[in-house]
Structure 1
Amino acid sequence: MSLLLDPFSVAFVQRALLGGALVAIICGIVGTWVVLRGMAFLGEAMAHGMLPGVAVATLTGFPPMAGAALSAAVMSVGVGALQRRGRLSADTSIGLLFVASLSLGVIVISASRSFATDASAILFGEILAIGTGDLAALAAALVVTVVVATLGHRSFVALTVDPRQAQLLGLRPRAAHFVLVALVTLAVVSAYQAVGSLLVVGMLLGPAVAAGRWTRRIVPTMVLAAAIGTVSVAVGLLLSWHLATAAGATVAFTAICSGAVSTGLHAFVAAVRRRVAPVSVIPNTPERTA
């Protein structure tokens, strides 16, 4: 057991575990709403929408996280503008900007001949390179996520159940949707360094789907998703260490696998319960005679 856990005695792995846990909690909270609202495509688009900003920031010497945040913000505003003024459906607007952002990011990367290493980090993350400053930024992002999710909980629930009823109750569903999109943006940007732009949706969806098999209440689902995500980070780091695989990709793959494991385990528990459940026996009674 000590040999198995030896990686966590190394300082940079400890920082990766702490940073990954902070990302898992953020994604557990936001990912629950992503699953409930069917916003997975938006999350994927946000993740790829960061690519141009990160590429430009890296080439010009600015912090990549700042470029990621700016690019994702432009993406979210663009989706809203296309829906309102272009009268396009949500998936069409997201699809157009998704491809445009991804293409622009690839163009920027291809224009530089010394971008191979940075491109790998952008796409697949550098969780083992998380530093003290990154931990502070992730902690601040977690605080913002918890505060916004708590204050907007009632509006988010009403928006999910019935937007028209939410409007009648004065809960401003449009504003609630905008805030929810902002939370998705914050989660995607926060998870960017850990698992990269290509794999961030795995952290958003995997633990939330896994948690949803065991509870139907929103807050318990968030808590369980955060716990499952944290365990996925720890398991992913261990597998990466012992198998010599890419840490970010291994963590993301483990998070996705948690959904499949949870579904299988839930089905097994349900089958066992059905087997051991008491069967009501109707006593034999004499036939009634006229």
Structure 2
Amino acid sequence: MEWLTGPFEVGFVARALWGGLLVAVICALAGTWVVLRGMAFMSDAMAHGMLPGVAIASLLGGSLLLGAALSSVAMALGVTALSRSSRLSRDTGIGLLFVGMLAAGVIIVSRSQSFAVDLTGFLFGDVLAVRGSDLLVLAGALVAALLITVACHRSFTALAFDRRKAATLGLRPGLAQGLMTALLTLAIVASFHVVGTLLVFGLLIAPPAAMALWADRIPAIMAGAALIGAVATVCGLLISWHFGTAAGATVAASAVACFFVSVLAASVRDRIPATDR
């Protein structure tokens, strides 16, 4: 038991645990729609696209969260603008902005005197540096994510499965898409400090994708994804503490490992005759 509970008796590890759990729930709420809507590439691009804003905010001594939010919004608007061109596919626009924003962020960070340290922190996060004020921000982000999810559940559900049906029902799919992107932006911005811009994709996609193999109802997928994300957070922090690995990366890797375990278990389940289940 000491092996399991000892690390969380240390103050900064306990804060990391709470931060990771809050992020797990936020990512479960947003990530479920990402998986159902097929927005994985878009979410990955937005996670990388916030690097320039974070880098500029760091150099100017401003709020990293505000910089990340502005950069993510710029990324989303850029993708929307490019996707209107009949000569370019949506994936092409996302890919170009993905590389351009990431490169711009690295160039901006290279202007700092602690280039390697800053870039590592931005890309891979520092969950063990989570402060009490960060937990308050994450709690506020969770409340906002819950409000958006509950208020827009019907519109998001229709949009995820049939955009034309959503329009027929008068659910304003354009507005719903914008709010879904806002929810995604909120999750990415709130999470980057914990797992960084490169690894937030793991917590955002892996738990909902793992749970989607076992549940048909959206609330069940969200609840299961939050639980899987929480398990990944605890396992990642324990492995990091005992084996000296990077905490944020280990948490993200644990989430991805949970997905593959879920895939294997679902494969075994599907091979069992229905009469034997």
- Tell me the residue number matched to 1:27: 27
Does the 8 A contact of 2:232 with 2:258 survive in 1?
A: yes
Q: How far apart in 1 are the matches of 2:89 and 2:179?
A: 19
SS in 1 for 2:80: helix
SS in 2 for 1:111: coil
Q: How does 1:35-114 map to 2 (within 5 A)?
A: 35-84=35-84, 88-114=88-114
Question: Is the aligned partner of 1:252 residue 2:260?
Answer: no
Tell which structure's C-alpha radius of gyration is larger. Answer: 1
- Tell me the residue number matched to 1:192: 192
Q: 1:5 Cα deviation (Å)?
A: 2.0
SS in 1 for 2:205: helix
- Tell me the residue number matched to 2:276: 277
Q: 1:85 Cα deviation (Å)?
A: 5.9
Q: Which letter does structure 1 place at the counterpart of 2:107?
A: I
Does the 8 A contact of 2:37 with 2:161 survive in 1?
A: no
Change (3 A) 1:170 1:84: same
- Once the two structures are overlaid, the 10-residue window that deviates more, 38-47 or 72-81, is 72-81
Q: Gaps (5+ residues) in structure 1? A: 279-290
- Compute the TM-score of the two structures, normalised by the length of structure 2: 0.95
- Tell me the residue number matched to 1:287: none
Q: Which letter does structure 2 place at the counterpart of 1:208?
A: P
Q: 1:59 Cα deviation (Å)?
A: 0.9
Q: How far apart in 1 are the matches of 2:91 and 2:275?
A: 46
Q: Which letter does structure 2 place at the counterpart of 1:274?
A: P
The superposition leaves residues 64-122 of structure 1 with CA deviations (integer Å, 9 ceiling, x where unpaired) of 12211111111111211222367643212211211110111111122333222111110
Q: How far apart in 1 are the matches of 2:127 and 2:86?
A: 39
Q: 1:165 Cα deviation (Å)?
A: 1.4
Q: Gaps (5+ residues) in structure 2? A: none
- Compute the TM-score of the two structures, normalised by the length of structure 1: 0.91
The superposition leaves residues 149-194 of structure 1 with CA deviations (integer Å, 9 ceiling, x where unpaired) of 1111111111122111111111011111111111111111111011
SS in 2 for 1:223: helix
The superposition leaves residues 32-90 of structure 1 with CA deviations (integer Å, 9 ceiling, x where unpaired) of 11111110111111111011111111111112122111111111112112223676432
Q: How far apart in 2 are the matches of 1:15 and 1:101?
A: 31
The superposition leaves residues 13-38 of structure 1 with CA deviations (integer Å, 9 ceiling, x where unpaired) of 11111110000001111111111111
Question: Is the aligned partner of 1:118 residue 2:118?
Answer: yes
Q: How far apart in 2 are the matches of 1:130 and 1:111?
A: 25
SS in 1 for 2:30: helix
Cα RMSD after superposing both structures: 1.6
Q: How far apart in 2 are the matches of 1:158 and 1:95?
A: 27
Q: How far apart in 1 are the matches of 2:215 and 2:115?
A: 45
Q: How far apart in 2 are the matches of 1:216 and 1:128?
A: 35
Q: 1:269 Cα deviation (Å)?
A: 4.1
- Tell me the residue number matched to 2:237: 237
Q: How far apart in 2 are the matches of 1:276 and 1:153?
A: 35
- Tell me the residue number matched to 1:210: 210
Q: How far apart in 1 are the matches of 2:274 and 2:143?
A: 45
Question: Is the aligned partner of 1:219 residue 2:219?
Answer: yes
The superposition leaves residues 186-233 of structure 1 with CA deviations (integer Å, 9 ceiling, x where unpaired) of 111111011000101000111111111211111100000001101100
SS in 2 for 1:105: helix
Q: Across the two proteins, how many residue pairs are aligned to each other?
A: 277
